[in-house]
Amino acid sequence: MNDQDFQPARPIDPALLAAEEAKRIRVWDREERLRVIFETINWAESQPGVSRNNKESCLLRQQEILRSMGELPDSEQAKS
Amino acid sequence: MNVDLVLETLGRNQVDFLLIGGMNFLLRHEPVLTFDIDVWVNDTQINLDRCELAMIDLDASWGATEETWRPVKEQTGWTRRQSVFCLVSPHASVDVFRTVAGLASWAECKARAYKGKTKSGVEFFGLSDADMVACQLALPSGTRKYSRIEALRKAMGEI
């Protein structure tokens, strides 16, 4: 493409980004979208150090959720 | 795999890009649930042309409206129309950014970027931790990901 009037992009309006994301969801076939999402999750899961499906990740996640609920994890209750 | 294919296709088409967003954070730091591949492309005429070719290779589609949504192979110059595009492709959901809030210069961010490699060996440049924090801080406070900011600051030794 040879356009003489190339203009650098302007700063992103957050509303534009939200509208773009919403538009994509509307036009995308639901089943195809789910297939792509699962494929992306599987790919991420296969990357080194990324898995959420292990003891360390599960404990960390559980600890964060318990803290957000105002509850001390068992391991910390034992200390106190 | 799908993400490898997106990164490899951008590289093969010589697109100057940085991996940003959740996928970049996930590959560098912690597992987070993320469905999109966000890339920030160097906003030059030639690079946008290359980006369009890469998206054709990925069978991507985009439209300014739902009515005009169609494969990008049937369009030219669509990357000039606005500053961000959320595309559909059979391989992954790809967001292409021409600018990123909180970050002024693509070239300076590229100079600070880290070189990453996926498990299957596809290389890419990812936004640095400091620049990822800057992006988050530029967002409206209600949409910032505070756990991500904390993890990044820890990784940088700030806390």
CATH code for the domain of B39? 3.30.460.40
Q: Are B127 and B19 in contact (CB under 8 A)?
A: yes
Check A44 against B31: CB less than 8 A apart. yes
Sign of the alpha-carbon torsion through A67, A69, A70, A72: negative
What range defines the domain where residue B10 resides?
Answer: 2-155
How far apart are the C-alpha atoms of A33 and B157, rounded to whole Å?
A: 39
The total number of structural domains that make up chain B? 1
> How many CB atoms are located within 10 Å of the residue A53 CB?
8
Q: Which residues of A touch B23 (CB under 8 A)?
A: 44
Residue B65, burial from CB neighbour count under 10 angstroms (0-12, 13-18, 19+): exposed
| Residue A67 to chain B, least CA–CA distance (Å) | 13
How would you classify the pairing of strands B17-20 and B93-97? unpaired
* φ, ψ (nearest 5 deg) of residue B42: -60, 125
How far apart are the C-alpha atoms of B120 and A12, rounded to whole Å?
A: 33
Nearest to B1 among A12, A13, A43 (CB): A43
Is the predicted ipTM greater than 0.90, yes or no?
no
Check A33 against B26: CB less than 8 A apart. no
| Residue B153 to chain A, least CA–CA distance (Å) | 17
Please give chain B's pLDDT, 159 residues, in tens. Answer: 589 999 999 999 999 999 999 999 989 988 787 889 999 999 999 999 999 999 999 999 999 999 999 999 999 999 999 999 999 999 999 999 999 999 999 999 999 999 999 999 999 999 999 999 999 999 888 888 888 899 899 999 998
Q: Which residue from B minimizes the CA distance to A12?
A: B83
Q: Which residue from A minimizes the CA distance to B25?
A: A50
pLDDT in tens, A19-52: 999 999 999 999 999 899 889 988 988 888 766 6
How far apart are the C-alpha atoms of B139 and B78, rounded to whole Å?
A: 26
Between vectors from CA B12 to CA A1 and to CA A6, what angle results, nearest 5°?
Answer: 25
Q: Which residues of A touch B139 (CB under 8 A)?
A: 14
Domain ranges of chain A: 29-79
Nearest to A16 among B45, B69, B84 (CB): B84
Q: What is the pTM of this model?
A: 0.85
